[in-house]
Amino acid sequence: MAPATRSILWFRRDLRLGDHPALLAAMDAASQVLPVFVLDPRLLATDTPRSRRLLASLRSLSKDTGGALVIRHGHPADVIPRLAAQVGAQQVHVSRETTPYGRRRDEAVETALAADGRELVATGTPYAVGPGRIVNRSGSPYQVFTPFAKAWHEHGRPAPAARPERIPWLRDDVRGDPLPEAPAMEAGEAAALKRWETFLHNGLTAYDDERDRPDLDTTSRLSAPLKYGEIHPRTILADIATHSAGRSEAARTYVTELVWREFYADVLWHRPDSAWHDLRPELARLPYDSGDETDRLVDAWREGRTGYPIVDAGMRQLLEEGWMHNRVRMITASFLTKDLHVWWPVGAQHFLDHLVDGDIASNNHSWQWVAGTGTDASPYVRVFNPVTQGKRFDPDGEYVRRWVPELRHLPGRAVHEPWKHDNGYDDEYPRPVIDHDDERKETLARYDHARR
């Protein structure tokens, strides 16, 4: 009998077994597959909602592999080559990484493996269409969302990869490190598929009308499962295409949101510097505020004490749940950049520190969209009014009352303007830290000056 051949499947942003091309490639390459996840010290440097969510997803994946998943702590460029040599694996299979850090890490691992005569094999990506594949007729990347979306639809995508009926996991005595403890929470492939199935049949038809309503909480909440790869966007798109609701306007709107995710990943692929620097140079001369007073205002924003109810509700939801409704993300981002005149990376970093779905491409380019420095940028002159936004998208005040208990005594939409009511501050809700109308004028003046 010929000796068993072995490959390694190195999990990263693909914590599932279904619709997983790299898994199939690892199985094709060898008779036994060792599943591995490397807990890089950078991932657990601080205790954040993201790190806790990651650990919960890894626990689920370990169960799905029947306990075969090997956890190792350390730097991947050290851990992976050493493990490959230990088990005699000639190939390490991964889903292609697209973020700046992920690409640098994989290059280091590939170099280390090659030095020992081994190979890093990348198959598939976390996206329906891999970043870098959609280009215009001249071979250049798209700079604006609408033409990118048109080209993305025309490009097409592969069908979901088949889920293996049996996976020949390597179960030799390959010792792993323990997973750190973390609170129990919904995570993993089965939970993601269940959530998606429920939304597809019960929530998708109303998505077009209700997606901007934080009081209703009727979005799919799949941003975290997509972030950790517990479900692949290809699976979602295939289900929409075959479901009767997939022909609705709501379904087309939902698909557009997925394409935005693909677009931002593509932008970051071509412009890795845009993760933390302005993508567009037009506002390079725009002045931003700093100093002790600005620090005080930023702290009030972070803690949900700005005196603007919809802003404070969103920031408190972020701290409590590690999540925030997308409409409120735009409102709170506008408040920081255009009412407090703070450069967008300050807010982007705070969001990444607290969001369970914190994805550098989507998060940071969404911040640039609001700030007016990114692709497809909203004109800088568009300044979200936190009061009118609150009245429009939280018309009965339910979202604000849920997260700002100091205002629960105010009925209906009165909650958005406590300063107009004699009892508005009975429970010590903070007064507004700035005057929105004044700061809007200041923003427009700065914008006009920077453009000139």
Q: How many secondary structure helices (H) and strands (E) does the chain include?
A: 18, 5
Task: Work out the percent of the chain whose per-residue pLDDT is above 90.
Answer: 86
C-beta of residue 106 within 8 angstroms of C-beta of residue 97: yes
Which of left, alpha, beta for 298 (phi over 0: left; psi -120 to 50: alpha)?
A: alpha
- The whole-number pLDDT of residue 378 equals 65
Q: Which residues pair with 120 in a beta bridge?
A: 92
Provide DSSP, 233-251.
HHHHHHHHHHSGGGGSHHH
Residue 366 has phi, psi (to 5 degrees) of -65, -40
| Coil vs helix vs strand at 73 | strand
Domains plus CATH for the chain?
A: 6-124 (3.40.50.620), 127-159+190-270 (1.25.40.80), 281-451 (1.10.579.10)
- The per-residue pLDDT for range 52-105, each reduced to its tens digit, is 999 999 999 999 999 999 999 999 999 999 999 999 999 999 999 999 999 999
Residue 406 has pLDDT above 80, yes or no: yes
- The per-residue pLDDT for range 343-366, each reduced to its tens digit, is 999 999 999 999 999 999 999 999
Residue 2 has pLDDT above 80, yes or no: no
Q: Which are the contacts of 21, defined by CB distance < 8 A and separation ≥ 6? A: 95, 123, 124, 161
- The whole-number pLDDT of residue 381 equals 79
- The whole-number pLDDT of residue 9 equals 98
C-beta of residue 223 within 8 angstroms of C-beta of residue 52: no
Cα separation, 324 vs 301, whole angstroms? 14
Cα separation, 168 vs 31, whole angstroms? 7
Q: How confident is the model at residue 377 (pLDDT cuts 50, 70, 90)?
A: low
- The per-residue pLDDT for range 223-282, each reduced to its tens digit, is 999 999 999 999 999 999 998 666 789 999 999 999 999 999 999 999 999 999 999 888
Cα separation, 315 vs 162, whole angstroms? 41
Residue 34 has phi, psi (to 5 degrees) of -100, 115
- The whole-number pLDDT of residue 1 equals 43
Structure tokens at 362: 């989507």
| Coil vs helix vs strand at 439 | helix
Residue 3 has pLDDT above 70, yes or no: no
C-beta of residue 377 within 8 angstroms of C-beta of residue 280: yes
Kindly list the strands in the beta sheet with 6-11, ordered across the sheet, starting from the edge strand earlier in the chain.
Answer: 70-73, 32-39, 6-11, 91-94, 119-122
Cα separation, 203 vs 250, whole angstroms? 10
Cα separation, 264 vs 268, whole angstroms? 6
Residues in the chain: 452
Rounded to the nearest 10 degrees, the angle between the axes of helix 249-270 and helix 233-242 is 160
Helix (H) or strand (E) holding 39: strand 32-39
Q: Which are the contacts of 76, defined by CB distance < 8 A and separation ≥ 6? A: 10, 38, 40, 105, 108, 109
Type of residue found at 391: K
Q: Which are the contacts of 422, defined by CB distance < 8 A and separation ≥ 6? A: none
| Coil vs helix vs strand at 71 | strand
Residue 161 has pLDDT above 80, yes or no: yes
What average pLDDT does the chain have? 94
Residue 118 has phi, psi (to 5 degrees) of -115, 170
CA angle at residue 131 from 235 to 250, to 5 degrees? 45
Residue 317 has pLDDT above 60, yes or no: yes
